[in-house]
Amino acid sequence: MAPIGDDTVHTLQELVQKLESRVKQLEDKLEDVSTGTKHTPTEGVRMILMGPPGAGKGTQAPKIKEKFSCCHLATGDMLRSQVAKKTPLGREAKKIMDQGGLVSDEIVIGMIKAELETNQECAGGFILDGFPRTVVQAERLDSMLNERKQTLQHAVELQIDDGLLVSRITGRLVHPASGRSYHKVFNPPKETMKDDVTGEPLVQRSDDNAEALKKRLVTYHQQTAPVVGYYQKTGIWKGIDASQEPGQVWKSLLGVFEQSASQGKSGSLLSKITGR
């Protein structure tokens, strides 16, 4: 019998992970019926995606979302959505923003909690993008998740030299509705200025220019360094070289997920099937 190749093993791993997730869901439903209790999902991914403007969060987040069938929670999008829906949190946030103020941590945490409770996509986990930006926010996020009997699994930082970001950021194109991002040179859409999935128009952000970028990078580094330190202490931080082409960055991300899965599933179905 021919030896099993790495590609076959990866395919089996993904298949088995999906099967285990489905089995767990069915077991939870049976437990709910027999005990009358509501089960809190523990499967899926719960992560923070960090990185400076242009590092590739908008390219990688949709791939993570597709792989885990989870929700992608970008703070700016959440604020706009809550304001548009005129929810109590949205009305409160709009009042503050109209006065030129910054939305409080409590409101943002409340919005994240509301999404986790009401957004069906979040049943498969979540990717937080753009939050937390301070250690206080990180601590409050942990407290909220602890109340839900959940913890973060990953805090992934896409790392790239500031000098490389100028050429990236000035050619960036974005699909506003989904957050998918492209680049005129490095990651162009199949059809000029149109989203690959929907065919809708792409836009270039007004602040995607070299001068604005430098100011945003200064702010980013000042805010992010303490947050990185916080998650390094908790042991869930991982840094990924984002100067690689997007496919290699995705492979690095998969490596983070697979390492975590293998550590937590020593007695998994895959181990029993392959003997590994």
Residue 133 annotated as lining a ligand binding site:
yes
46 catalytic? Reply is: no
Residue 130 annotated as lining a ligand binding site:
yes
Catalytic entry in 46, 57, 65, 168: 57
Catalytic entry in 94, 140, 216, 265: 216
Please say whether the beta carbons of 179 and 77 come within 8 A.
Answer: yes
148 catalytic? Reply is: no
Residue 103 annotated as lining a ligand binding site:
yes
**CA angle, 106 then 111 then 117, to 5°:** 125
180 catalytic? Reply is: no
How far is Cα 254 from Cα 13, in angstroms, rounded to an integer? 12
140 catalytic? Reply is: no
Tell me: cis bond preceding 132? Omega within 30 of 0 counts. Answer: yes
Give the strand order in the sheet containing 154-159.
71-74, 125-129, 45-50, 154-159, 237-241
Catalytic entry in 67, 94, 140, 205: 205
DSSP, collapsed to helix, strand or coil, labels residue 125 as strand
How far is Cα 56 from Cα 14, in angstroms, rounded to an integer? 24
Residue 171 annotated as lining a ligand binding site:
no
Residue 54 annotated as lining a ligand binding site:
yes
Residue 59 annotated as lining a ligand binding site:
yes
Residue 181 annotated as lining a ligand binding site:
yes
DSSP, collapsed to helix, strand or coil, labels residue 48 as strand
Residue 131 annotated as lining a ligand binding site:
yes
Residue 216 annotated as lining a ligand binding site:
yes
Q: Count of CB atoms within 10 A of residue 216's CB? A: 17
Catalytic entry in 65, 168, 172, 180: 172
Sign for the CA dihedral angle at 144, 148, 154, 157 comes to: negative
DSSP, collapsed to helix, strand or coil, labels residue 168 as helix
Residue 228 annotated as lining a ligand binding site:
no
Residue 173: exposure state from Cβ atoms within 10 A (0-12, 13-18, ≥19): buried
Catalytic entry in 46, 65, 133, 180: 133
Residue 46 annotated as lining a ligand binding site:
no
Residue 232 annotated as lining a ligand binding site:
no
Residue 247 annotated as lining a ligand binding site:
no
Sign for the CA dihedral angle at 233, 237, 241, 243 comes to: negative
Q: Which residues are annotated as a binding site for AMP?
A: 75, 80, 101-103, 130-133, 137, 205, 216
- What residues act catalytically? 57, 133, 172, 205, 216
Q: Which residues are annotated as a binding site for ATP?
A: 54-59, 172, 181-182, 244
Q: Which residues are annotated as a binding site?
A: 54-59, 75, 80, 101-103, 130-133, 137, 172, 181-182, 205, 216, 244
